[in-house]
Amino acid sequence: MWTNFCKPWFICCLLAALTIVLLVLNVNQLEHLDHESVLATVIDSSGQDISPQATGVVRKPYCGYEHQTLSKRERLEEDSLLAALQSHEPYADLVPFMKSTDPSSSYFVILNSGAFFKVGSQLEVLVQVQDFQGRPKKYGGDYLQARIHSPKLQAGAVGRVVDYQNGFYKVFFTLLWPGKVTVSIVLVHPSEAVQILQHLQEVRPDRVYFKSLFRSGRISETTICNVCLPGNLPVCNFTDLYTGEPWFCFQPKKLPCSSRINHYKGGYLKGLLTTAEGAFFQSDINIKVPVRSSGPDWVTVIPLGVKEANDPEPSQSMENFPSGYYYKNQWRPRKFKMHQFNEPDNITECLQGKMVYLFGDSTIRQWFDYLITFVPDLVEFNLGSPKNVGPYLAVDLKHNILLRYRCHGPPIRFTTVLSNELHYVANELNRIVGGRSTVVAIAIWSHFSTFPLEVYIRRLRNIRQAVVRLLDRSPKTVVVIRTANVQELGPEVSLFNSDWFSFQLDTILRKMFSGVGVYLVDAWEMTLAHYLPHKLHPDVVIVKNQLDVFLSFVCPAKT
């Protein structure tokens, strides 16, 4: 009887013990959290909550770029690039809002407004910024954009801004067409906002986060991915074997890293700014607000005489900047002759017998969309690719034209890209034979705006090396780089895609590809100089002008 009583008691104890063990395991699972919520709370290896909300300290994420090995030449170049951008560093201390730059009380004046202007003359404008108390500021760092324009002529060009670091700025314009020319100065961000953007760029590269789906059979998991991942959770290392480009995902709890299916944008972090910091990012207050003029904001430019117009020697003011200007809504480069490809047959004749490769983000995907829409003989071949993602392919069998588009490798903020379609541009270039019939165009900038500049420098370094190899083996290959462009900004967009970020990337791109033997489509000037509102994806009239420049490189004027 005692034995019979002990058996159920022993079984009950055993079940209770098993229940406790399972409970402990489940609690341990909960402590490590699903990776979907890792951005809300970061758990370290001890199971403690180390999120910013819990500790008040933002931990610096792990970043693969910090562990790259650079040659002496690469290190010197990187240091030089970063040092060149330090001139844009704002005043060190964050000041109260009322002492920040107020565009409505700031002003500009045309210094030589009484002078006699001809086409090719230099126009100088002095800008003085003041705070919301109407007091002149004593330091620089504000981000300004400047252009001259003649609305009736649909003409426009950009100006060069020089920061004297004392609250004064000088803007230099070259007057490139006759008639009434108006000056426009815009405060994109006050120096106080620039300081915050720089801080975000350095310490919060995870403010745009990405995800990947892992699947095996009926089991699927989604985890967070990025160049930089916070905390000490196990990660899957998807660093590219050929280029060394770093990319990581948090390791799934049940599946191997090899079961990754896709990549997509997860979202944007919220609550990045304090209330005081948010005051520096207000639409119609201090984001892309015009600066008023003190006195006339326009000058009259007279045409050149016949002898001057035929003079083959350009004046010193017309050497390098700006790269071009709009006149009657057509872009006019200053260093080469641009064709107008106004008819589909013009484009077909230029591209006949050519293979055209477009690599990069959605701003160069616009070129693909324009070409297949405008040229009826270019027929898109359905590859079953996701919309707005690619890869895309179009052919014109009659004229032997092949047109391809492929997005660049991560980071890429597209909806869903299959893992096996995540190709790095450098690797794609290494697979191209090249030659007289090969044309390559690259645009890569927008998706790097949230990362430290070292990440972008590394990517461009790999692409540049691949371009040099391509041109070495096939010198007749045409390689074109599309630069960054300005875009519409609001309080939230500014934290992720500000023109200030894009300007830095654009500066680096131009310096790194200088002297390499590639052509440049200056999308920055072509969007800033135009009268249409700024957009990440410019309107078709601007895209058409970009394609005219691109095709003029492919099919230059015969001399």
pLDDT band at 116 (very low <50, low <70, confident <90, very high): confident
CB within 8 A of 130, min separation 6: which ones? Answer: 101, 102, 105, 106, 107, 136, 137, 167
CB 518 within 8 A of CB 480: yes
pLDDT in tens, 194-231: 999 999 998 899 999 999 999 999 999 999 999 988 88
DSSP 100: S
**Number of CB atoms found within 10 A of residue 152's CB:** 8
CA–CA distance, 248 with 226 (Å, rounded to integer): 6
User: What's the pLDDT at 309?
Assistant: 52
CB 483 within 8 A of CB 519: no
Closest by CA to 381, choosing from 397, 366, 365, 364, is 397
Judge whether residue 482 has pLDDT over 80. Answer: yes
Q: In angstroms, how far is CA 291 from the centroid of its own chain?
A: 26
| Structural domains of the chain, ranges and CATH numbers in brackets | 97-195+279-302 (2.60.40.10), 208-267 (no CATH), 326-554 (3.40.50.1110)
pLDDT in tens, 371-400: 999 999 999 998 988 888 989 999 999 999
CB 136 within 8 A of CB 107: no
Q: Which of 247-261, 322-336, 377-391 has the lowest mean pLDDT?
A: 377-391
Closest by CA to 194, choosing from 87, 71, 350, 34, is 87
Mean pLDDT of 120-144: 96
User: What's the pLDDT at 150?
Assistant: 98
- Among the ranges 68-72, 204-208, 468-472, which has the highest mean pLDDT value? 468-472
> Strands (DSSP E) along 30-159, which ranges?
62-63, 101-110, 117-118, 122-131, 143-150, 155-158
Q: Which of 69-73, 74-78, 416-420, 498-502 has the lowest mean pLDDT?
A: 69-73
Judge whether residue 520 has pLDDT over 50. Answer: yes
CA–CA distance, 489 with 480 (Å, rounded to integer): 28
CB within 8 A of 83, min separation 6: which ones? Answer: none
Write b or e for each residue in 379-400: b if 16 or more Cβ atoms lie within 10 A of its Cβ, otherwise e.
eeeeeebeeebbebbbbbeebe
Judge whether residue 245 has pLDDT over 80. Answer: yes
Q: What is the pTM of this model?
A: 0.86
Mean pLDDT of 293-309: 82
CA–CA distance, 167 with 136 (Å, rounded to integer): 7
